[in-house]
């Protein structure tokens, strides 16, 4: 969404932006979570392919880079327009989002009327600092295996000591029950 300004108006707004880095992951079905290729090139290629398959005369709209065969038949012109309209903002997930992108947000606007209605003024206010958001792996597979191995070793040692304590307790009870009447412990020979 943007701001509309007319002659005779002065608009002031703040621009906020985030430099966003996402890790590429393979999702179920082999699809990637994002792409490192250029997004525009991917989208124009997808539009070109859809228009070539969707028109009788294998033609395109004039506003994509590969426009050697611009549609002239009214039916094809209408078809390619709607292909472009429905796909250009990626509603059908023809291309993955880029892994590196700049997210820009326009804040609230303040409008005032100017004395001169032949000009318009736009004042944009940018922050002094930019937020950078980077995604990182918390653990590599090697770190995860090391952590898991250490935890497993700790649990095994704790279990060993618990079993040893249990066995020791039962051996002591056995000895006490079989203690001789003269107070001597049972001798094993």
pLDDT in tens, 66-101: 889 999 999 999 999 999 999 988 888 888 888 988
The predicted pLDDT at position 46 comes to: 93
Domain assignment present for 187: yes
**Boundary-marking domain end, from 118, 134, 150:** 134
Q: What DSSP character marks residue 176? A: H
Domain assignment present for 99: yes
Residue 133: both structure tokens together: 């958001």
How many Cβ atoms from other residues are within 10 Å of residue 51's Cβ?
A: 25
The mean pLDDT value of the chain amounts to 86
Residue 66: both structure tokens together: 């590969």
Domain assignment present for 1: no
Reported pTM: 0.52
Q: Please give the tally of structural domains in the chain.
A: 2
User: 101 and 44, same structural domain?
Assistant: yes
Between CA 69 and CA 92 the distance in angstroms is 24
């Amino acid at each position: 969404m943007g701001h509309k300004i007319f002659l005779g108006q002065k608009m002031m707004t703040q621009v906020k932006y985030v430099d966003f880095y996402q890790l590429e992951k393979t999702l179920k079905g082999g699809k990637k979570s994002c792409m490192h290729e250029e997004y525009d090139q991917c989208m124009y290629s997808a539009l070109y392919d859809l228009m070539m398959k969707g028109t009788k005369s294998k033609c395109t709209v004039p506003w994509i880079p590969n426009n050697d065969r611009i549609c002239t038949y009214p039916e094809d012109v209408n078809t390619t327009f709607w292909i472009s309209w429905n796909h250009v903002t990626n509603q059908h997930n023809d291309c993955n989002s880029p892994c590196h992108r700049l997210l820009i947000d326009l804040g609230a606007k303040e409008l005032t009327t100017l004395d001169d209605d032949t000009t318009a003024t736009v004042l944009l206010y940018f922050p002094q600092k930019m937020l950078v958001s980077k995604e990182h792996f918390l653990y590599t597979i090697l770190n995860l295996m090391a952590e898991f191995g250490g935890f497993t070793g700790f649990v095994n040692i704790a279990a060993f000591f618990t079993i040893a304590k249990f066995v020791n307790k039962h051996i002591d009870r056995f000895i006490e029950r079989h203690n001789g009447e003269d107070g001597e412990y049972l001798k094993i020979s």
